[in-house]
Chain A
Amino acid sequence: MNKERTFVIPDEICQRAGMSAVWFPSNKLGAHAYRHVTAHSQDKASEFAPCKTLVHHIRFDVMLFHPITRQLINESSGTFLAGQKLVANSGGTDIRGELLKVSRQYRAIVRACLENLQSEASKNDSSSKEICLELAVIFYNIEFMWNLCEVLYVDVIPGDAVLPQLMDWIRLHSVHYERQAQAILNGEYGSSVLDNGAENEPDYWNTVIGLVLQGRLDGARALLKLHSASLSEPFKSVDYIMRTMPFYNVFGGISLTEFNMRWKGWQNEAACKLQAGTFASRKELEFIMKLMVGNAEAFLEVKDQCGTWYQFMASWLLYTEPTVKSFDLSYHAHQCIAKFGGISRLKHSDLILVALMESDLHQVIRLIEQTSENGWFAAHLTDLLHHCGCLKILDNHQSSQTASSAMDLREQLLLDYGTLLMSHRSLWQVGINYLDYCSAEGRARIEALLLTLPLGSETRALKIIQVARERDLHHIVASICKIMGMRSYQQHRLGNALTWALRSQDAGFATYLANKFLELYNQEGKFHSLDLLDNLGSCMLVSDRLTFLGKYCEFHQLYQAGEFRDAAVLLVSLLASRLAPKSFWMTLLTDALPLLESNDIVLTSEDTYELLNAMEELLGEGQNSDIGGTLGSDKLTTIQDQSLDANSLVEEKVKLIRLALARNLARSLNHEGCLMDSAQMNLCLRS
């Protein structure tokens, strides 16, 4: 962690000119060539131009994203969520039993991952062999330490007699002697003097002693039975002593004090037999007996055979203090460490074990953070311990820290881990799950990081939107819809862009797109995406311009279907309600021409008055506005550029419309007059 590492970026320009880098989201650096300019540098063109420049993206290589450990990430996130739900639903009842199951599940996941790593590393053609081996070592250590942590902190052991679990822990992780014993047992050895005794095996006594140290007395007895002299007195005594050694069992029904009494009685008996010289004839058996009565010198001799200080400590405690309490462990640990060369000789993982035994959980977490699996261990273990309530207890001793520092610690680790996951293209969903459970800063981080996720296909965008919507982050949903909409727009897919705008009820964007549609109509004379526009339904109400567009399409539909009366009514209402933009009025009036000229009277006099009104209003400001110009553009240049042809075209149109309006007015007034006359006549006739 302390050494600096230098990376060379292969870029020629950078070498010549200099380099600069910028952080961008998810812990990545963008490096590029840079020539620093100050107030005193000469203001001239760069001497490197023209050249090809590159921006280099640099990111940390996250070991945890290896395909095999990726499965671990996913599985453990499932367990993490199950744990959180458990805590949420517990309502204050004691859930330690359930949390123990969660802890065991984590360990099972780690072990499964370990198996996969090892099988991958053993394949000869594996490309990532080294990484697999490295990861295997790391995860082995993790499982080892997690196990001890579980024993000491998660599992609630009645009476706090931790030794049996400790022995289980040791036995689980050192199977060397058991394997050797198995090998010997599988060999063919008889148990009488005439047969070939097992003691001729080179490792025989070593194995027996090793089994005794681990408390595997059944195995030791089985091996001893294979000795050629196993029927002799000393062997029988040893067998008896081994058989009768009491082992503490929580469910055994006897109290700790009573167990202690029985155990002391047993050890005294064995010590008496030892002193009486029962085993004098067999040096090895005598040695084993010395071990079993807790003789310190004998233990010093087997120090090397124990391998590590914690195995030594466990064996020592097994034969001197079987009911040791968890808080006494640290004293014994230090004693054993001293025998093994002192604290300075300890490895990193040993330090963690010591800290665990000293109940210094903060130190444990601090040390764990330094292991190199990117924070998986620290985050999950801290979360578990926090829920067990172990971290809170410690806060009372720390006067300088506030009561919530345990939560802060847990949250900080989860935040780091979640943020790391968010930087991965696919694992961001898992990261979100973790950030959800960080009550203080989680939500803010989710908001910030969701927007940095690259939006690929629409499926991906929809997934991100779903995640945002579940968390009520509506501004993010709107933002993503807008990005997708703009992207579609740039690909000239107006229909799709409009769909996205409508999805987020984005009135501004919808108006912009509606204007574009109308522009295209003006240019090309037909609508794009008619299938969309015909079926807008109630969505068109999002923006006025869109409503106009939708209604105008409806007008065309009605016209083509031959429903001229309805079409006319719609057209007039569009003008009368001033829903239509001014610049489009000319088009509408032009559309009214065929209706005005049709044989049937489609437009009433009222309608005609409306149209006249609109016409006059349009022409009234017509001197300064570009009637024939494009929608939305009010540059003065276009007016000046209008050729005489265009102007005359417009004048022609106006004349035609005026004429049609006048004629229709005449016809409709006439028609209505007749109707009115006939109605009055009917009234007169009746009265």
Chain B
Amino acid sequence: MEDKVHGVFVGEKVSKVRWKPEDLVESDIFLTGSWDNEFINSNMFVVSSTVGSVKLLKIDGKEPCLAALKEVMSWDDIHFLSVGGHIPCTGLAVFEEDIVSVGEDGCLCLLTARQKMPVRRIEGADSCSLRCVCFLKHNEVLTGNLRGQMKVWDLKNAVNKPASTFMLSGEQTGASCVTHHPTQRHMVLAGGEDGSLTVWDLRHHTFPVTLLSAHSDAVSELQFHPDRPEHLFTCSTSGEIWHWNTSSMSRSAHLGTMPSEFPRDENLWLNSDVAKHRLEVFTLMPQLHKPINSLDVSKNRVVCGCDNEAVYVFKNVVL
């Protein structure tokens, strides 16, 4: 395992990491920051900060080490309160050139990469701080708040009300991160502050399809592998980073049933067997004594950034 893991200590707390997306080649470059970073296309990325502004930066130059970050556009103070001033922006989601940002003021802001003014601002989207956001479709966004209330917003609709709402769990566990399945957008996975993982089918969302109590502390980030969606990676504030592999389930299921009975695109996560025993979970590295704040996946490499101010890269992750 030693040569697969390469750790480097950087001199600051890493709260987000992202691979620079390359089309064919494995990314060699990743960004770390104490802000929230998201890539729009392979050269531009959006950064949000705790003073409530969002900036679009571009990586200049061919050489990765000498790359300078040039600010292309900046939306300042999009999260702002009349009393209290700047409010941290807690989450960003990107879909092609549209950016959605949510903040502690409970405000949802829609921006587009080409325009200086925000396209739309939904103030008071939530009475509590919003903690996470993800795009479901081009015009649909899912947000989660401090109390675990998830709301689906239809951005085409001019009314400032969520299309639907559901609670993450009976108690007030906050939603710490949310992600959608890469191919089946109606399936959403949310991580909670108590370390639980809930799987939701947005078509009928009164109860979660599956509830797994996974980590011992809040799940800080969830990511599906973009090309191989039966692999999920999660990291938590208890210092654990796990790789969930459902590919063995799909193999055994195919063997046991007739092809016609088993719809090929049935999502294994929605299958309740997942909760029982057919899931393999690997831990990518021994438990760290500090929270792991963020991870990102690209081809067969995973990078994660932690509160012990180090960044770890795992190469050749078995898929």
- Contact flags A525-562 to B (C-beta < 8 A → 1, else 0): 00011111001011100000000000000000000000
Are A496 and B88 in touch, CB under 8 angstroms?
Answer: no
List which B275-290 residues lie within 8 A (CB) of chain A: 289-290
Q: Which of B82, B149, B172, B291 has the most CB of A within 10 A?
A: B172
Q: Which residues in A have their C-beta under 8 angstroms from that of B15? A: 459
B215 on interface, CB distance cutoff 8 Å = no
Q: Which residues in A have their C-beta under 8 angstroms from that of B50? A: 456-457
Q: Which residues in A have their C-beta under 8 angstroms from that of B308? A: 74, 77-78, 429-430
Q: Given A499-B128, A531-B126, A535-B167, A70 and B309 touching (CB < 8 A)? A: yes
From B6-14, B111-119, B182-190, the one touching the partner chain is B6-14
Q: Which residues in A have their C-beta under 8 angstroms from that of B9? A: 71, 74-75
From A38-46, A53-61, A358-366, A486-494, the one touching the partner chain is A486-494
Chain A residue, CB-CB nearest to B12: A426
- 27 A–B contacts, CB within 8 A, in A order: A70-B309, A71-B9, A74-B9, A74-B309, A78-B289, A426-B309, A430-B308, A458-B146, A459-B15, A462-B174, A462-B193, A462-B218, A466-B291, A490-B83, A491-B83, A493-B81, A495-B106, A495-B127, A496-B104, A496-B127, A499-B129, A502-B172, A531-B126, A531-B165, A535-B147, A535-B165, A537-B171
List which B24-42 residues lie within 8 A (CB) of chain A: none
Q: Which residues in A have their C-beta under 8 angstroms from that of B289? A: 78, 81, 433
List which B291-318 residues lie within 8 A (CB) of chain A: 291, 307-310
Are B167 and A537 in touch, CB under 8 angstroms?
Answer: yes
Are B170 and A537 in touch, CB under 8 angstroms?
Answer: yes
List which B214-272 residues lie within 8 A (CB) of chain A: 217-218, 237
Chain A residue, CB-CB nearest to B308: A74
A474 on interface, CB distance cutoff 8 Å = no
Chain B residue, CB-CB nearest to A430: B308
Task: Name B residues whose Cβ lies closer than 8 Å to a Cβ of A.
Answer: 9-13, 15, 50, 81-84, 88, 90, 104-106, 126-129, 131, 146-147, 149, 151, 165, 167, 170-172, 174, 193, 217-218, 237, 289-291, 307-310
A377 and B172 alpha carbons, distance in the complex (Å): 45
A68 on interface, CB distance cutoff 8 Å = yes
Chain B residue, CB-CB nearest to A65: B11
Are A492 and B83 in touch, CB under 8 angstroms?
Answer: yes
List which A443-480 residues lie within 8 A (CB) of chain B: 456-459, 462-463, 466
A78 and B127 alpha carbons, distance in the complex (Å): 40
Return B285 CB to nearest CB of chain A, in Å.
Answer: 12
Q: Given A529-B127, A532-B147, A535-B167, A503 and B172 touching (CB < 8 A)? A: yes
A664 and B212 alpha carbons, distance in the complex (Å): 53
**Interface residue SS majority, chain B:** loop
Q: Given A463-B291, A493-B106, A532 and B127 touching (CB < 8 A)? A: yes
Q: Which residues in A have their C-beta under 8 angstroms from that of B171? A: 537-539
Q: Which residues in A have their C-beta under 8 angstroms from that of B12? A: 67, 70, 426
Q: Which residues in A have their C-beta under 8 angstroms from that of B131? A: 458
Q: Which residues in A have their C-beta under 8 angstroms from that of B90? A: 457-459
Q: Given A458-B90, A463-B291, A496-B129, A426 and B13 touching (CB < 8 A)? A: yes
Q: Given A490-B84, A493-B105, A496-B106, A429 and B147 touching (CB < 8 A)? A: no
6 additional contacts (CB under 8 A) given A457-B104, A462-B218: A67-B12, A75-B310, A463-B237, A487-B84, A493-B81, A496-B128
Return A89 CB to nearest CB of chain B, in Å.
Answer: 14
Are B128 and A466 in touch, CB under 8 angstroms?
Answer: no
Are B147 and A499 in touch, CB under 8 angstroms?
Answer: yes
Are B172 and A496 in touch, CB under 8 angstroms?
Answer: no
Chain A residue, CB-CB nearest to B105: A493
List which A52-93 residues lie within 8 A (CB) of chain B: 67-68, 70-71, 74-75, 77-78, 81
A490 and B83 alpha carbons, distance in the complex (Å): 8
Q: Which residues in A have their C-beta under 8 angstroms from that of B10? A: 71
A459 and B131 alpha carbons, distance in the complex (Å): 9
Are A539 and B127 in touch, CB under 8 angstroms?
Answer: no
Q: Which residues in A have their C-beta under 8 angstroms from that of B167? A: 535, 537
Are B172 and A429 in touch, CB under 8 angstroms?
Answer: no
A493 and B105 alpha carbons, distance in the complex (Å): 8
Q: Which residues in B have their C-beta under 8 angstroms from that of A75? A: 9, 310
Q: Which residues in A have their C-beta under 8 angstroms from that of B291? A: 463, 466
Chain B residue, CB-CB nearest to A530: B127
A535 and B106 alpha carbons, distance in the complex (Å): 17
A175 and B232 alpha carbons, distance in the complex (Å): 52
- Contact flags A490-513 to B (C-beta < 8 A → 1, else 0): 111111100100110000000000
Q: Given A457-B50, A499-B146, A466 and B129 touching (CB < 8 A)? A: no
Q: Which of A433, A463, A531, A535 has the most CB of B within 10 A?
A: A531
Return B12 CB to nearest CB of chain A, in Å.
Answer: 7
Contact among A491, A495, A538, A539 for B81, CB-based, below 8 A = A491
Return B284 CB to nearest CB of chain A, in Å.
Answer: 17
Are B129 and A458 in touch, CB under 8 angstroms?
Answer: yes
Return A111 CB to nearest CB of chain B, in Å.
Answer: 14
Q: Given A78-B308, A458-B129, A490-B83, A67 and B11 touching (CB < 8 A)? A: yes
Return A125 CB to nearest CB of chain B, in Å.
Answer: 15
Return B174 CB to nearest CB of chain A, in Å.
Answer: 8
Are A499 and B172 in touch, CB under 8 angstroms?
Answer: yes
Return A463 CB to nearest CB of chain B, in Å.
Answer: 7
Are B128 and A532 in touch, CB under 8 angstroms?
Answer: yes
Chain B residue, CB-CB nearest to A78: B308
Are A429 and B290 in touch, CB under 8 angstroms?
Answer: yes
Q: Which residues in B have their C-beta under 8 angstroms from that of A490? A: 83-84
Are B147 and A71 in touch, CB under 8 angstroms?
Answer: no
Chain B residue, CB-CB nearest to A502: B172
Return A542 CB to nearest CB of chain B, in Å.
Answer: 11
Return B176 CB to nearest CB of chain A, in Å.
Answer: 9
Chain A residue, CB-CB nearest to B11: A67
Q: Which residues in A have their C-beta under 8 angstroms from that of B174? A: 462
Q: Which residues in B have their C-beta under 8 angstroms from that of A430? A: 308
Q: Given A78-B289, A502-B172, A68 and B11 touching (CB < 8 A)? A: yes
Q: Which residues in B have their C-beta under 8 angstroms from that of A463? A: 237, 291, 307
Chain B residue, CB-CB nearest to A80: B289
A52 and B243 alpha carbons, distance in the complex (Å): 59
A532 and B9 alpha carbons, distance in the complex (Å): 42
Chain B residue, CB-CB nearest to A491: B84
Q: Which residues in A have their C-beta under 8 angstroms from that of B106? A: 493, 495-496
Are A466 and B237 in touch, CB under 8 angstroms?
Answer: yes
Return A186 CB to nearest CB of chain B, in Å.
Answer: 33
Are A496 and B11 in touch, CB under 8 angstroms?
Answer: no
Contact among B149, B193, B310 for A74, CB-based, below 8 A = B310
Contact among B88, B126, B127, B151 for A458, CB-based, below 8 A = B88
Are B127 and A494 in touch, CB under 8 angstroms?
Answer: yes
Return B84 CB to nearest CB of chain A, in Å.
Answer: 4
| Top 3 closest pairs, chain A to chain B, by CB | A495-B127, A529-B127, A457-B88
Return A418 CB to nearest CB of chain B, in Å.
Answer: 14
